[in-house]
């Protein structure tokens, strides 16, 4: 560091020292400048020109800047890249300060704590997650500063905590705690493995005093919670406070949540089911399909419910009752939805009011929102169904915050400006003093114009102008050629290129009155605004409560709208172990398919009876679609929605576990197979008798023998040990033999018809295994050359006839399926090595098997088999001497 650093750079370095992890936006006049490393980084990230300050001097430093009025966009980009931005402002008006202007960091903007609407997605909560790892347990807290929500829970281990966090997809994570260091994997690595690329901040230790300070007014409430929960809440609040120094956080209570009340959807299932995200875009997600909400808080609530459906029958039924009510009363639904369209984001407006950040424009939006909300409450109160009042939780006292709505209506003009600096906030006739100041101000300008005319007249200078600048105030300007005609009583003020600027007593006097009126007007406006903000701030909790209520109606009416539009039916949700869907459809695929082209199917599983379906059928028949549609209907039913089916009975599911397709995860340096095995192991470890497991083509990531062997063992384990409801799609026809040995297993297949070697997909589920794989027909569809197809057909026939006969066997040959054994090994009794491998497999305790063990086991078994085949292929080897 240069000893000759300028005072300005010293100021900058102090800010940087206080916030070393943030990019410092340093206010210099109309710009925010970044210096040193920040400048280099930002020039790259934001595509800014890198210049330098104090060029050529010993203390030359890299510099890059953005105009202050355009800063929002740049800050947004940095936040989305996971960076924090510290805003270092000028704390005084530079024109009134001698020497260097004092500067301070007034706010640190971080991805998880922003509150301004420019940086927020209206349909998503903006969660900051805090994790506190103690020696025994793990606490998590979720804080959305933009809505004032704070939720917390404790978990026995990190995996459980992260699994729960993955529902919320936080935008920023802070992690700390005594136990954090003892973890096998560095905490940020473990967190990113589950949550994806999210900024993770290493949090400083939190001692008792710091915890007390961090909890602040919530300390009493937090005391009820466990130590790890308190720690997590404290960390979240401490971080949020540090980001907004001197601001009262809008958090009023800690909502605990009990993870056991929610259907577990781990990140793998979330991804596979494309609940809220899909590589194909929002339209292809379940949320994108069912989100017909009309308010941002409603959209956020629906998203939250979708990622955390319930497991309690009573609560689910209460939600379904609401939806049903809006389905049965279309007029009520339509009127409510019309009113909701104008409500807007009352929740975040309430928070900005609480934070003192509400702009005049926000107040206008609050006014309009409250008026619309009152209308919505009126509509809902008119519900006619006999139990309607109860179902919609309408007690006598819905507080529509009328007093505030009325105050805002009386005060504000129709479209208040985004910034109070622009003025023109209030309605004419609202305040006598303000109106007077306004009249004077407007009048003053008119008088100036009149004075200009008068002076032109008196002097005969037609080009004379009366003008104003901030530095010189009001003056008369006369061009050079006419300066001689200026009266001698005028005082010369300034010489400019084109002429002279003068002043005279009459002008000064008028200017004074105008400036005075201007200042009075401004002062009055600001004080009225401050009063209004106090009123609104005092009512912000009431506004938040109203918003919450309206969000629930919004979600119910939206789900009813969807049920109406897409013909969904109310599911019968109970505590049984049944999962029976008649004419079920895939909610997303049916929308993307041509109207009426989606083929509905029935599924009926029962954990205590027929619990495992082996689904076979040609490629492209619809196996994956079927599996997913069942899982999605469970999610929909348990979040309290109607389902895409003619009828559905859904016994509560505690977890949806899925392993779909052979998606690569090569970016993490693991082979597809390893990922597949890791996920499969996870499923076997976590599934309970109340779970729903969907397995789609597991074993694909490895060779046929390994794959089949593993798929077989996994299916058996699910049937015999876990005993849960399972759908198992497979391309291994050999697996269909499982049905012969277990009464709980059934074979079904998605049908296709073949005529003349062409395949027609019927997408209809039928009993029994698929008869053939249709692979060659699909290949034809895909356009393989005829010669290749012909050769394949010949080979297929030869293989299907079970041997090396040269003469092709008839196509219809059906393989015997009497003995339940692996048909790949069929043809002769299993050899010694094969039997050994099978026995090994049967003896495997899958629950204890780590992915690595599984890998080495497979390698061993494979070794046994290939050794044998080598021996049998090279019979002469042993005898050569
Ligand atoms: P598989 O897993 O058997 O290879 P998919 O489930 O991926 O088949 O389905 C292949 C395509 O068939 C899907 O993209 C979808 O458009 C269509 N499809 C699947 N099921 C149905 C159905 N029940 N009705 C209409 N089209 C369907
Ligand atoms: Mg598939």
Q: Is 50 exceeded by the pLDDT of residue 56?
A: yes
Q: How do the residues of the chain divide into helix, strand and coil, expressed in percent and rounded to 5? A: 50, 20, 35
* Span from the CA of 736 to the centroid of ligand 1 (angstroms): 21
Give residue 800's pLDDT band: very low, low, confident or very high (50, 70, 90): low
Cα gap 508→486, rounded to integer Å: 17
- Is 686 or 551 the better-scoring residue by pLDDT? 551
Give, using CA atoms, the residue closest to atom 5 of ligand 1. Answer: 622
- Is the pLDDT confidence value at 525 over 50? yes
In whole angstroms, what is the distance from residue 708 CA to residue 728 CA?
13
- Position 868 scores a pLDDT of 58
Backbone torsions φ then ψ of 278, nearest 5 degrees: -150, 145
Closest to 619 in 3D by CA, of 661, 590, 588, 556: 661
Q: Which two tokens stand for residue 164?
A: 């729960």
Determine the longest span between alpha carbons in the chain, in angstroms.
Answer: 133
Closest ligand 1 atom number to CA of residue 585: 23
Quote the pLDDT of residue 707.
78
Mutate to test the pocket of ligand 1, among 587, 620, 633, 778 (most ligand atoms within 8 A of CB): 620
Mean pLDDT for 4-27 is 90
- Of the listed ranges 129-143, 147-161, 773-787, the least confidently predicted one is 773-787
The edge-to-edge listing of strands for the beta sheet with 61-67 is: 51-53, 61-67, 31-35, 22-28, 84-90, 103-109
Helix or strand run (H / E) with residue 266: none
Q: What is the pLDDT of residue 436?
A: 86
d(CA 850, CA 446): 86
Alpha carbon distance 522, 433 (integer Å): 11
- What distance in angstroms lies between residue 506's CA and the mean position of ligand 2's atoms? 88
Q: How confident is the model at residue 880 (pLDDT cuts 50, 70, 90)?
A: very low
Could you tell me which residue, 472 or 108, shows the higher pLDDT? 108
Instruction: Please say if the pLDDT value at position 181 is more than 70.
Output: no
pLDDT at 324: 97
Is residue 185 predicted with pLDDT exceeding 80?
Answer: no
Q: Name the more confident of 363 and 801.
A: 363
Cβ of 680 less than 6 Å from ligand 1: no
Phi, psi of 602 (to 5 degrees): -100, 140
How far apart CA 810 and CA 11 sit, in angstroms, is 89
Separation between Cα atoms, residue 774 and residue 782, nearest integer Å? 12
Q: How far is the CA of 405 from the centre of ligand 1 (A)?
A: 52
Q: Which residue has the higher pLDDT, 519 or 653?
A: 653
For residues 621 and 338, which has the higher predicted lDDT (pLDDT)? 338
Closest to 613 measured CA to CA, from 427, 749, 509: 749
Cβ of 765 less than 6 Å from ligand 1: no
Instruction: Kindly report which listed range (250-259, 510-519, 823-832) carries the lowest average pLDDT score.
Output: 823-832
Q: Which two tokens stand for residue 602?
A: 């029935």
- pLDDT(816) > 60: no
pLDDT (average), residues 20-46: 94
Report yes or no: 693 and 266 within 8 Å, Cβ to Cβ: no
Indicate whether 554 pLDDT > 80: yes
Contact between residue 515 and residue 315 where contact means Cβ atoms under 8 Å apart? no
Mean pLDDT, range 81-108, rounded to an integer: 90
Q: How far apart are CA 641 and CA 319, in angstroms?
A: 8
- The predicted-structure confidence for 269-325, as pLDDT tens digits, reads as follows 888 899 998 888 888 999 999 999 999 999 999 999 999 999 999 999 999 999 999
Nearest protein CA to atom 17 of ligand 1, as residue: 622
Distance 626 CA to ligand 2 centre (A): 9
How many Å apart are CA 499 and CA 479, to the nearest integer? Answer: 4
Q: Closest ligand 1 atom to the C-alpha of 592?
A: 16
| Binding site membership of 199 for ligand 1 (Cβ less than 6 Å) | no
Read off the pLDDT of residues 830-866 as tens digits, 9 standing for 90 and up: 677 777 777 777 777 766 677 677 777 777 777 777 7
pLDDT surpassing 60 at residue 791 = yes
Ligand 1 pocket test, candidate residues 280, 284, 585, 589, most atoms within 8 A of CB? 589
Q: What is the pLDDT of residue 373?
A: 97
Q: 580: CA distance to ligand 1 center in Å? A: 20
Ligand with minimal distance to 590 CA: 1
Nearest to 115 by CA among 295, 202, 268, 240: 240
**Is 624 touching ligand 1 by the criterion CB < 6 Å?**
yes
Q: DSSP states of 837-851 as a string? A: HHHHHHH--GGG--H
**What pLDDT is recorded for position 757?**
66
Flag whether pLDDT at 795 surpasses 80: no
Atom of ligand 1 nearest to the CA of 586: 23
CA of 433 to the centre of ligand 2 (A): 73
How would residue 256 be classed by pLDDT, with cut points 50, 70 and 90? confident
> What residue owns the CA closest to ligand 1's atom 23?
599
Q: Does the pLDDT value for residue 823 go beyond 60?
A: no
Give the pLDDT score at 667. 42
Closest CA to 583 of 600, 608, 563: 600
pLDDT-wise least confident of 168-177, 392-401, 512-521, 826-835: 826-835
Average pLDDT over residues 112-130: 90
* Residue from 600, 615, 625 to probe ligand 1 pocket by mutation (most atoms less than 8 Å from CB): 625
Whole-number pLDDT of residue 711: 86
Q: Could you say which ligand is closest to the alpha carbon of residue 615?
A: 1
Best mutation site among 603, 617, 622 for ligand 1 pocket (most ligand atoms within 8 Å of CB):
622
Distance of CA 787 to the CA centre of its chain: 51
Binned at pLDDT 50, 70 and 90, residue 533 comes out as very high
CA–CA distance, 275 with 285 (Å, rounded to integer): 5
Query: Tokens standing for 588?
Result: 């997303």
Question: Which ligand 1 atom is at minimum distance from the Cα of 729?
Answer: 2
Kindly indicate the confidence band of residue 175, based on its pLDDT and cuts at 50, 70 and 90: very high
Per residue in 396-424, pLDDT tens?
779 999 999 999 999 999 999 988 888 78
Cα distance between residue 835 and residue 823, in whole Å: 13
Q: What mean pLDDT is reported for the chain? A: 86
Taking the C-alpha atoms of residue 863 and residue 881, their distance in angstroms, rounded to an integer, is 27
What pLDDT is stored for residue 516 in this prediction? Answer: 84
- Report CA(743)–ligand 1 centroid distance (Å): 28
* Predicted local distance difference test score (pLDDT) of residue 826: 44
Beta bridge partners of 245: none
Q: What is the mean pLDDT of residues 541-562?
A: 96
* Distance between CA atoms of residues 600 and 589, nearest Å: 11
Polymer length in residues for the chain: 881
593 lines ligand 1 (CB under 6 A): yes
Nearest CA to ligand 1 atom 13: 622
């Amino acid at each position: 560091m240069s000893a000759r650093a300028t005072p300005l750079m010293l100021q900058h370095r102090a800010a940087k020292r206080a916030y070393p992890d943030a990019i410092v936006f340093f206010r210099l006049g109309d710009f925010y400048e970044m210096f040193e490393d920040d400048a280099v980084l930002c020039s790259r990230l934001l595509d800014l020109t890198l210049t330098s300050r104090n060029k050529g001097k010993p203390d030359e430093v890299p510099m890059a800047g953005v105009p202050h009025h355009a800063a929002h966009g740049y800050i947004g980009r940095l936040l989305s890249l996971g960076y924090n931005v510290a805003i270092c402002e000028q704390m005084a008006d530079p024109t009134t300060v001698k020497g260097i202007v004092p500067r301070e960091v007034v706010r640190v903007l971080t991805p998880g704590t922003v509150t301004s609407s420019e940086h927020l997605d209206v349909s998503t909560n903006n969660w900051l997650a805090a994790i506190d790892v103690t020696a025994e347990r793990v606490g998590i807290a979720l804080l959305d500063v933009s809505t004032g929500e704070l939720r917390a829970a404790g978990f026995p281990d990190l995996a459980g905590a992260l699994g729960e966090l993955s529902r919320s997809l936080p935008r920023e994570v802070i992690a700390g705690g005594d136990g954090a260091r003892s973890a096998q994997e560095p905490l940020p690595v473990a967190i990113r493995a589950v949550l994806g690329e999210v900024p993770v901040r290493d949090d400083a230790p939190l001692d008792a005093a710091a915890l007390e300070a961090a909890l602040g007014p919530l300390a009493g409430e937090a005391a009820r919670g466990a130590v790890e929960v308190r720690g997590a809440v404290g960390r979240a609040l401490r971080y949020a406070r540090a980001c907004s120094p001197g601001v009262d956080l809008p958090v009023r209570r800690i909502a605990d949540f009990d993870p056991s009340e929610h259907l577990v959807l781990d990140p793998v299932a979330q991804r596979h089911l494309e609940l809220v995200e899909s590589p194909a875009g929002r339209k292809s997600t379940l949320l994108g399909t069912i989100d017909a909400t009309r308010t941002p808080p409603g959209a956020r609530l629906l998203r939250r419910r979708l990622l955390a459906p319930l497991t309690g029958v009573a609560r689910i039924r209460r939600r379904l009752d609401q939806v049903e009510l809006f389905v049965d009363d279309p007029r009520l639904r339509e009127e409510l939805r019309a009113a909701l369209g104008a409500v807007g984001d009352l929740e975040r407006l309430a928070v900005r009011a609480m934070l003192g950040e509400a702009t005049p424009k926000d107040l206008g939006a609050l006014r309009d929102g409250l008026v619309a909300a009152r209308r919505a409450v009126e509509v809902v109160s008119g519900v006619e169904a006999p139990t309607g009042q109860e179902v919609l939780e309408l007690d006598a006292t819905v507080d529509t915050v009328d007093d505030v709505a009325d105050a805002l209506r009386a005060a504000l003009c129709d479209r208040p400006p985004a910034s109070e600096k622009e003025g023109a906030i209030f309605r004419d006739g609202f305040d006598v003093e303000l109106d007077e100041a306004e009249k004077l101000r407007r009048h003053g300008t008119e008088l100036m114009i009149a004075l200009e005319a008068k002076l032109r007249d008196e002097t005969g200078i037609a080009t004379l102008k009366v003008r104003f600048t901030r530095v010189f105030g009001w003056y008369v300007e006369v061009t050079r050629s006419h300066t001689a005609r200026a009266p001698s009583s005028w005082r010369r003020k300034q010489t400019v290129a084109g002429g002279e600027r003068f002043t005279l007593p009459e002008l000064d006097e008028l200017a004074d009155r105008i400036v005075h009126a201007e200042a009075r007007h401004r002062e009055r406006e600001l004080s009225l605004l401050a009063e209004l903000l106090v009123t609104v701030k005092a009512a912000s909790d009431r506004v938040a409560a109203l918003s919450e209520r309206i969000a629930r109606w919004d979600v119910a009416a939206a789900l009813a709208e969807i049920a109406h539009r897409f013909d969904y039916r109310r599911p019968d949700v109970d505590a049984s172990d049944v999962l029976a869907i008649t004419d079920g459809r895939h909610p997303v695929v049916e929308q993307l398919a041509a109207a009426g082209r989606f083929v509905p199917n029935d599924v009926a599983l029962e954990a205590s009876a027929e619990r495992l379906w082996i689904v076979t059928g040609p490629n492209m028949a619809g196996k994956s679609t079927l599996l997913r549609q069942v899982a999605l209907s469970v999610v929909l039913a348990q979040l309290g929605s109607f389902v895409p089916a003619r009828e559905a009975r859904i016994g509560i599911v505690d977890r949806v576990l899925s392993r779909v397709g052979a998606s690569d995860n090569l970016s993490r340096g693991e082979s597809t197979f390893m990922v597949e095995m890791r996920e499969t192991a996870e499923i076997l470890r976590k599934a309970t008798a109340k779970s729903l497991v969907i397995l789609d083509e597991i074993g694909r990531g490895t060779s046929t023998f390994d794959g089949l062997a593993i798929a077989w063992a996994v299916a058996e384990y699910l049937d015999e040990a876990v005993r849960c409801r399972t759908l198992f799609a497979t391309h291994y026809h050999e697996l269909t033999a499982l049905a012969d040995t277990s009464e709980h297993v059934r074979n079904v297949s998605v049908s296709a018809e073949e005529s003349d070697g062409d395949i027609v997909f019927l997408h209809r589920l039928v009993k029994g295994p698929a008869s053939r794989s249709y692979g060659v027909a699909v290949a034809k569809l895909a356009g393989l050359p005829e010669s290749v197809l012909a050769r394949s057909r010949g080979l297929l026939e030869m293989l299907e006839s079970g041997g090396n006969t040269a003469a092709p066997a008839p196509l219809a040959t059906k393989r015997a399926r009497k003995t339940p054994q692996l048909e790949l090994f069929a043809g002769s009794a299993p050899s010694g090595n094969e039997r050994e491998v099978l026995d090994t497999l049967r003896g495997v305790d899958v629950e204890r098997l780590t992915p690595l063990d599984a890998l080495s086991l497979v390698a061993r078994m494979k070794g046994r088999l290939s050794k044998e085949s080598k021996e049998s292929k090279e019979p002469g080897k042993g005898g050569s001497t």
